[in-house]
Structure 1
C-alpha cells in the first residue's frame, strides 16, 4: 500500500513542471499622436508624465479663421432655413387654392422652392465641413493613459507632412510578455501561473497566463505568453517561473 501511495504521489508531482522564463512589461496600448491639420500651437494642456482621461484636450491650434468660417456657414444656413420655411408654407397655401391660381404660377413657386431647398442642403454640407475642419484644430486623447513623450511647444508650427509625433500616449494598464524555451510548448497553457522576480528578488506576485502566442522566434527558439502586468511600469523586466501543468 505504501508503494502504491508513493507511486501515486510521484505521478501527481510529475504533472507539474517549473519552466524558467523572462519577462518584460509593455503598455496594453501605445499611440503616437499627430494632427490632421496645420497651424500654430495656441494652447498646450499636457506634458510628460501627465495622466489624461479619454477625450482630454491635449493641444489646440490657432483657429480664428476656422471659427469665423463656421459662423458664416451657420448664418447662411439659418437664413436659408427661414426662406425655405416661408416658401414651403406659401406653396402649401397656394396648392390648397389651386383653382384660383394658374398652373404656371404654381410651377414657378415650386421651382423657386426646389432651388431654395438645394441651396439649404449645400449650406448644411458647408456647415458640416466647417465644423469638421474646426474640430481638426484640436487634439484629444484617444484613450486614458500617461504622456510618455512630448515633442511640441506653444508657438510651434504643426504640419501634416509627417515628422516626429506630437505626443506618445501609453495606457495605464500594462501586460507581461513572458518568454520561455519552445521545448516547453506542450507544457505551458493558458491558465498557468507565472511567478515573477525583479533583480533576482521575488515580488511575491503570480500572474495567470491569458494568451499563448502561436509562433516560435526563429533566432532565440523562444515562445511568448502574455499575462496581466500588475500595473508595473512599461520597460520593467525580470525573470520567474511558470508553474506549468
Structure 2
C-alpha cells in the first residue's frame, strides 16, 4: 500500500509544472469615497493614517436646514397619524372619500419624513468597510458636489492584501484555482506561499499576460515580487 501511495506521489510530482510569475501587492479592498450630495464640509473626523470601522462617521456636510426639515416632517407625521386614527374610529359614520383624504395625508406624511431622512443621510460620509485612510483630498469649508463627484477620502483594507500575478498567456489552460504560489517579495529574503483563488478570464492584448490573484496579509501596498506557480 505504501509503495502505491509513493508511486502516485511521484507521478503527481512528475506531472506538476512550475510557472514563473511576477506580482504587485494591492489592498484586498480599496475605494475612493465621496458625498452623493452637494454642500459645504462642516466636519472631518479622520485624517490620513486613521484606522476606521465599518459605518464609522468620517465627514459631515453643513446640514442644519435638512435637520430642521426632518423635525418639521416628524411633527407633521405625528398630527397626520392622530387625525387618521381619530377618523378610523368613526369610519363607518363618515363619508368614504373624507376618510380616504385623512389616510392619504397620513401616508404622505410618512413618505415626506422618509424623504427628508434620506436627504439628511446623504450629508454624512461613512466608512464602507474596516480599513485605513490613505488620502484626504478636501478640508473643512470646501464645497463638494454630488453631481461632479468630489472625492473626499481614499480608504483601503487594513491588513488584507492580494497579490496580482502576471504570467505568460501560453499557460492559460494549465493554471487553475487552487494551485500553489511560492514567492518572494522584493527586499525580503523570506519565501512565502499562497493559493490562487481567482483567475482573470481575459488576456492583456499588449503584454500577452494573464492575471490571477492570491490572498496575503500585512505587506505594504505597492511592493512587488516574483515566484513560481506549481500546477497540479
Match of 1:75 in 2: 75
CA deviation digits over 1:102-153, x for unaligned, max 9? xxxx43xx43322222112221111111111111111111122221211111
| Conservation of the 8 A alpha-carbon contact between 2:132 and 2:155 | yes
Deviation at residue 230 of structure 1 after TM alignment: 2.6
Match of 2:16 in 1: 16
Distance 1:127 1:42, change over 3 A: same
Which of structures 1 and 2 has the bigger CA Rg? 1
Secondary structure in 2 aligned to 1:242? strand
Q: TM-score, normalised by structure 1?
A: 0.82
Q: How many residues are treated as equivalent by the alignment?
A: 225
Whether 1:42 aligns to 2:42 is: yes
Match of 2:204 in 1: 217
CA deviation digits over 1:40-59, x for unaligned, max 9? 21111121121211111111
Give the one of 113, 117, 130 matched to 2:99: 113
CA distance in 2, matches of 1:117, 1:87: 9
Match of 2:26 in 1: 26
Q: TM-score, normalised by structure 2?
A: 0.87
CA distance in 2, matches of 1:13, 1:76: 76
Gaps of 5+ in 1: 1-6, 95-105
| Conservation of the 8 A alpha-carbon contact between 1:196 and 1:202 | no
Distance 1:175 1:162, change over 3 A: same
Gaps of 5+ in 2: 1-6
Q: CA RMSD in A?
A: 2.3
| Conservation of the 8 A alpha-carbon contact between 2:21 and 2:226 | yes
Write out aligned runs for 1:47-62 (5 A).
Answer: 47-62=47-62
